[in-house]
Amino acid sequence: MDSSLRRARRSLAALALLSVFTLSHVGAAEDLRLLPPAAARQRLAALRADVAHHDALYHQKAAPEISDYDYDRLKQRLRELEAAFPELARETPAVAEVGDDRSGLFQTHRHRERMLSLDKTYSEADLRAFQARLAKLLGRADLAYVVEPKFDGFAVSVTYEKGKLVRVVTRGNGVEGDDITANALMIRRLPRGLRATAGDGTANAIPDAVELRGEVYVSFAEFERINAEREAAGEVLFANPRNLATGTIRQLEPKEIERRGLDIVFYGIGACLPASMQPPTQRGLHEMLKRWGLPGVESTWTARGGDELWAAIQALNRARAGFAFPTDGAVVKLDSVAQQREAGATDHAPRWAMAYKFAPARAETQVRAIVVQVGRTGVLTPVVEFSPVELAGSTVARASLHNRDEVARKDIRVGDFVYVEKAGEIIPVVVGVNTARRPAEAPAFVFPATCPACATAVAQRSGEVAVRCPSAACPAQLRRRLEHFASRECVAIDGLGPAMIDALVARGWVKDVPDLYRLRREDLLTLGKDVAKSTDRLLAAIEASKHAELWRFVAGLGIPQVGTVAAKEVARRHGSFDALLSAGASVANDSAGRAIAAYFAEPRNRALVENLIAAGVRPAGAKTEATGARLAGKIFVLTGTLPSLTRAQATEKIIAAGGRVAGSVSRNTHYLVLGADPGAKLDQAHALGVKVIDEPALLRLLRDD
């Protein structure tokens, strides 16, 4: 984790910035009852159209155009307008309060019990009003509440029958959702069955059928890993962990889902048969989830009355800086299930629960420039540079605008004052423009029609939003390709930094990657005085890189959709460049394989690899069964935190020794490697008779190999 992310998470407790930017329809506070009916009807239609548009982007496409704060404000404003003009609201169908996430890609399944949303607020006053309403409704001032972190992911309903997992369904429209069971089985901590015996040896009661509510999410660490791979592969980064989780669970290839470390947490219950087996309190439900071996909410707070409730939310806000998972608020629930039933629900949300969302960290700053960068795949990416501002514990001065359409949609201009947020508390993003402060002379930004690096006319492929420079000779693309190839994540050529690469490209000594291995000492010595030692070190590093592991070369080629994980699997499977070149389309058994097959189908790319081989590149192939490696064919599963190895390091060592690392325990698993705080995989291993070893035992196996 980089230092900026650590600073951002440490400072979350200090963040209480309220957004000053609102959509044009939202406006300042006003007495809606004073609106003329014609104006109210027009505003209602506009708000409903906006909400429907953003509902589809948020729930179905995982591609929101506005921040969560502005999305929530927009929906709240619509509710207020409908309440002020109920007769106008009944003229046309209302926008569904429960956003519909059905994608059309899956079969749908009906929930046994409706899966509702939650009322949301950013206001302490609203929260206290919620508590006062419940106290009045139930005739008690000292109601007991449970306060839980609000996971920022993708809501699901998971059904177990007779203790066996049978179905995973999205919220959908609250009545029915997408059946994503096959994809969800790739989630590492989703148990296939409820544990019949608790950790203390006592028997667990197992319902005939139970619907459990939970959230699929991605941890901060996994979010960073996946974005690093996408950056290395020249792909667009995910804006936040929620978009990553939502986009991943809808992938139609389970292998691709397994490569991304999705996680799941359980926190609620829908239908339970028989109903008498439902725990009588929310705290009791959390305990039962743990007894069943399900990943539950680890940190909760209890409170009685409005003051304790507000103090608990503040305590959660301070604590979330140390959470490994993304949160965007707190969920307040009545503890007593009997009181929950007495309070009831509206059409869209329970009356006994509310989500208090933490306002985003936001700052206003002025745009200094909009520059267009050319990536190694030719994609032109506009980047806005602005006056530095402190945001979520770090100083930021630039943010990606992603593509030409995004610049046009937001209409950002040089000289504008813009609002910047940390998307997912990690990546800075411009969320809007303060048009009231726009300089009169600020012209609209015009996206270039030619490449800013080589003046080639740009192009846009059918079905893509990206605009590209199509020239393979573009010096900007070449520089980025060389930087990627020489990076530590690829063949790791020390001394080949951006300045040296600029010099090599400017002098025409390197026109493609293989030319690195043809550099001459006498040429490099002309780059300046006293460069003999640095030249010799660079040439030695280049020579050493000829024998880097095969996966590093595969990753260094920069094939779209092929990051380090996929590259290691390809290297393990084929073992050499010659074998990979001859394999052709036979590698295309998943999206990464298809990407590699498409890459080598182009003569230019095959020629590049052949030129690398001709220049003396002899990568060290991954060990396979043919090499006689002791761990060849052995399948390992990792659980918990190991004493000295990270999960990535352990995986790399196992693969290098010929083994394979799987995401879940099955009858084919040979070893479960056990670390601290293991999950349900340990119980699954015991149930299936899988051998459990610790890190020292794993290292002994590797040494024997």
User: Which residues are known to be catalytic?
Assistant: 150
Nearest to 8 by CA among 393, 514, 404, 390: 393
Exposed e or buried b per residue across 520-530, where buried means at least 16 C-beta atoms within 10 angstroms of its C-beta: eeeebeeeeee
- Three-state DSSP at 324 gives coil
CA dist 577 and 614 (Å) reads: 12
CA distances (Å), 574 to each of 258, 555, 583, 617, 704, in order? 21, 14, 8, 17, 24
- Tell me the CB-side half-sphere exposure of residue 548, using CA atoms within 13 A: 24
CA dist 53 and 99 (Å) reads: 11
Q: How many CB atoms lie within 10 A of CB 649?
A: 11
CA dist 336 and 323 (Å) reads: 27
Between β-strands 362-374 and 353-357, what pairing exists: parallel, antiparallel or unpaired?
unpaired
Dihedrals phi, psi of 556, to nearest 5 degrees: -70, -20
Identity of the residue numbered 530? D
Q: How many CB atoms lie within 10 A of CB 42?
A: 12
On whether the CB atoms of residues 368 and 386 are closer than 8 A, the answer is yes
Exposed e or buried b per residue across 160-193, where buried means at least 16 C-beta atoms within 10 angstroms of its C-beta: beebebeebbbbbbbebbbbbbebbbbbbbbbeb
Strand partners, 507: none
Strand partners, 149: 330
CA dist 397 and 173 (Å) reads: 40
CA distances (Å), 348 to each of 66, 269, 452, 683, in order? 23, 16, 51, 38
Structure tokens that stand for 467 in this block: 């605009």
Nearest to 536 by CA among 552, 548, 519: 519
Structure tokens that stand for 205 in this block: 């009661």
- Three-state DSSP at 121 gives strand
- Which residues neighbour 651 within 8 Å (Cβ) at sequence distance 6 or greater? 638, 661
CA dist 75 and 355 (Å) reads: 15
- Which residues neighbour 506 within 8 Å (Cβ) at sequence distance 6 or greater? 475
Farthest CA pair distance, the chain: 90
Q: For the chain, how big is the Rg over CA atoms in Å?
A: 28
Nearest to 123 by CA among 10, 19, 26, 9: 19
